[in-house]
Structure 1
Amino acid sequence: MLLDQFLSHQKFPRILILRLSSIGDVLQASPVARELRKAFPSAYISWLIESKSQEVIQDNSNLDSVFVWPRKEWNAEAKKTGDYHALVRKNLAFVKQIRKEKFQISIDLHGMFRSGLLGYLSGAKYRLCLPNSREYAEHFANVKVKTGNFPTVFSRYLSVLKEFGIHRTEPEMEMQISLCDERFAMEFMANYGLKKKGFFILNPATSQPNKCWSTDKFAKLGDMLVDTYQLPILLLGAKSDRPLTKKIVDGMRHKPIDATGLVNLKQLGAITKQARTFISGDTGPLYIAQAVGTPTVAIFGPTNANYYSLEKKNHIFIQGRDACTNNVTIIELYRAVRQLMP
């Protein structure tokens, strides 16, 4: 029986979505869950993700469950102890847990060998794979998804939905913020004297050095924004980003609030939701800001802004000339922020 025939007879399909990482990619794939829920309101929909990115998909109202695979932690433990038999046992037990859910359809939105293998091992009869995948992931699939040249990352993810008869889709990312995280944000803001929509966020770090805008430029931009709007600057980032944000703190005349390493991803989302504008390079927190509806100014260098960015009036991206992030000027960023101000 073909997938469309199966869906015409099955009102309660059990669907497993696989997008294992990273933060931005998971959020960009999140519209798939929403569109499936709209088309199949009684379906059982689950998401399989690695532990580092789990916070951005947990509590998603379109999902019935989330499987968290601590792949890197298990691998690190096996390397440390030398007990690779234990690693195999853990992974087999994890697969057994997935198979208990009796998924009928798996959708591999990661498009690599390990995600394709997990989709196959899930026991799903109908297996789809992201078009233009890598590492032979498509060989684990048995439902053909059309390949092609996709203008945006969202169109690539959403293309798999055509196999479900879903043709009209919206590339709206989603990240649910809990009441607990909302309360944390309110307390955090009160502690630092921040008001709703009354502060700018600078997020200077990215996962790759060639995606980072210079700290000197961030510092000068921060001072320009404070001089113009008399609104404070909040610096965010992971604990490992502290050397980077310290340079910005040291370089600014108007000392910013440095919360680097003090909040988790959910808390970052809750705080960001209250900000006036979020200014960042191409990195996970940028897409968290877009998912929670905060206006963003994004700095792109080696990655294609047209491919990864949402075309929305409250999200502005600036592509560095010659694919170089630091070719973006301070005045370009400043004008973009001014454009978003009421």
Structure 2
Amino acid sequence: MRQFKKILIINIFGIGDVLFTTPILTNLKIYNKDVQIGYVCNRRTVSVIEQHPCVDQVFIYERDEFNEVYKKSKIAFWRKIKAFVQEIKNEHYDVVFDFSMNTFTGFFAWMAGIAVRSGFDYKKRGIFLNKKILLEGFDDKHVVEYYLDFLRKFNIPVKETRLSLSIGEKDQQGALDYIENKNFKKPIINIMPGGGASWGKDAYYKRWPAENFAKLADKLIEKFSVDIILMGSLQEKELCQQVESLMKGRPTVLCGKTNIMQLAALSRICALNIVNDGGPLHIAVSAGSKTLSIFGPVNEYVYGPYSREGHDVVTADIACRPCYRRFRRASCTHISCLKNIKIEDVLRKVENLL
């Protein structure tokens, strides 16, 4: 293929999805060290991308902010779109890789005058794309592999497949200072009983029960003589406090006290990170941390840690899982795929990883 000078990446989904695109950034720079890469993401994921060494410019697209303007004034809404498109147009991108499966993002790429517009054509939403990759869902391979198909479509070699996250010196040193000031004397296991924000009000469908995390934490202290940290977002603070209240031991609770990069830096210091399926898992994986993840309705071979080196997954062997297919979760009232995972199952996996 011809050497593109400027490439725009669009991914307006959650943290995990954005991290799944990082091998593309790395391979683009390997293929052409002088290529300039722009990235369109939402406000929640901007910190993941703005520090990445392969990304030259970040554009924030927050759908809710556009919708709020639309409710107040259609004229103001179109002015906001025009200003956003113009900001991108001024950069003169040659090609866009659009992972958003969204007609609107294809539209603004077209409006920005980007000549080559490649993206997933999901449910015929790719009407503004001219290099389409047909997609019905992520089913038979990991999401990262679906994303790397963009490079293959343009005959760009795939030489690096690891997820990457650039942790600044300030965040890394801050994590080290925190551990030193807390005077931890034992190996640290980080437990994240939430799972990020991507499933919203349905997030509990991906969460192993809080009482199980509490019993697991106490057994880890007893069996392996470790210190326990509980981490998560501010929205998961109550959940972390619930786990703490059910424990016999005394964990250090950091829920809501770290930003994404600080969480990544702390996860890197820990001997192990035990997490549910979700963004925090992929933050830890991208940071080079060791993880044990608990998967329920979601297929771990499609959405799990990538790659598996230094990582393991716990699942329940029941016929109805995985039930999350083609971006839809089956109606379920029992969530047996998580409730059937025993504490002893997790402990055995921990022993293999420590």
TM-score norm. by structure 2 comes to 0.87
Q: Pick from 257, 262, 265: which aligns with 2:257?
A: 262
Distance apart, 1:211 and its partner CA: 0.4
**Counterpart of 1:339?**
352
Distance apart, 1:144 and its partner CA: 3.8
Equivalent pair of 1:109/1:129 in contact (CA under 8 Å): yes
Distance apart, 1:112 and its partner CA: 2.0
Greater CA deviation, 186-195 or 157-166? 186-195
Equivalent pair of 2:167/2:261 in contact (CA under 8 Å): yes
Equivalent pair of 2:291/2:312 in contact (CA under 8 Å): yes
- Partner amino acid, structure 2, of 1:40: N
Deviations 1:169-226 (A, max 9, x none): 432111100011112212322332236x920111111241110000000001101111
Deviations 1:4-46 (A, max 9, x none): 3xx1xx4x52100111121001001111111111111111111
The answer on 1:192 being equivalent to 2:205 is no
The answer on 1:297 being equivalent to 2:274 is no
Distance apart, 1:168 and its partner CA: 3.3
| d(CA) in 1 for partners of 2:88, 2:158 | 31
**Counterpart of 1:23?**
15
**Counterpart of 1:170?**
160
- Secondary structure of the corresponding residue to residue 39 of structure 2: strand
The answer on 1:181 being equivalent to 2:171 is yes
Change (3 A) 1:116 1:137: farther
Distance apart, 1:147 and its partner CA: 5.6
Q: Pick from 40, 47, 58: which aligns with 2:50?
A: 58
Distance apart, 1:84 and its partner CA: 4.3
| d(CA) in 1 for partners of 2:78, 2:182 | 47
Equivalent pair of 1:215/1:248 in contact (CA under 8 Å): yes
**Counterpart of 1:114?**
104
| d(CA) in 2 for partners of 1:147, 1:136 | 9
Distance apart, 1:77 and its partner CA: 6.0
Change (3 A) 1:216 1:140: same
**Counterpart of 1:229?**
224
| d(CA) in 2 for partners of 1:172, 1:106 | 22
Deviations 1:99-119 (A, max 9, x none): 000111011122222332233
The answer on 1:326 being equivalent to 2:316 is no
- Partner amino acid, structure 1, of 2:314: I
Deviations 1:226-270 (A, max 9, x none): 112221111111111122111110111111111110111111111
**Counterpart of 1:42?**
34
- Secondary structure of the corresponding residue to residue 137 of structure 1: coil
**Counterpart of 1:314?**
310
Change (3 A) 1:199 1:270: same
Equivalent pair of 1:107/1:119 in contact (CA under 8 Å): no
**Counterpart of 2:334?**
none
Distance apart, 1:128 and its partner CA: 0.4
**Counterpart of 2:332?**
none
Distance apart, 1:74 and its partner CA: 4.4
Change (3 A) 1:76 1:187: farther
Equivalent pair of 2:27/2:157 in contact (CA under 8 Å): no
Distance apart, 1:305 and its partner CA: 0.5
**Counterpart of 2:194?**
205
Change (3 A) 1:187 1:152: same
Q: Give 1:276-295 correspondences, 5 Å limit.
A: 276-295=271-290
Distance apart, 1:163 and its partner CA: 2.4
- Secondary structure of the corresponding residue to residue 313 of structure 2: strand
Change (3 A) 1:198 1:118: farther
Instruction: Tell me the matched-pair count.
Output: 328
Give unmatched runs, 5+ long, in structure 1. none
**Counterpart of 2:333?**
none
Deviations 1:276-311 (A, max 9, x none): 111111110100000011110011111101112224
| d(CA) in 1 for partners of 2:339, 2:32 | 46
- Secondary structure of the corresponding residue to residue 218 of structure 1: helix
The answer on 1:13 being equivalent to 2:8 is no
Q: Pick from 70, 86, 89: which aligns with 1:96?
A: 86
Give unmatched runs, 5+ long, in structure 2. 322-336
- Secondary structure of the corresponding residue to residue 336 of structure 1: helix
Greater CA deviation, 204-213 or 108-117? 108-117
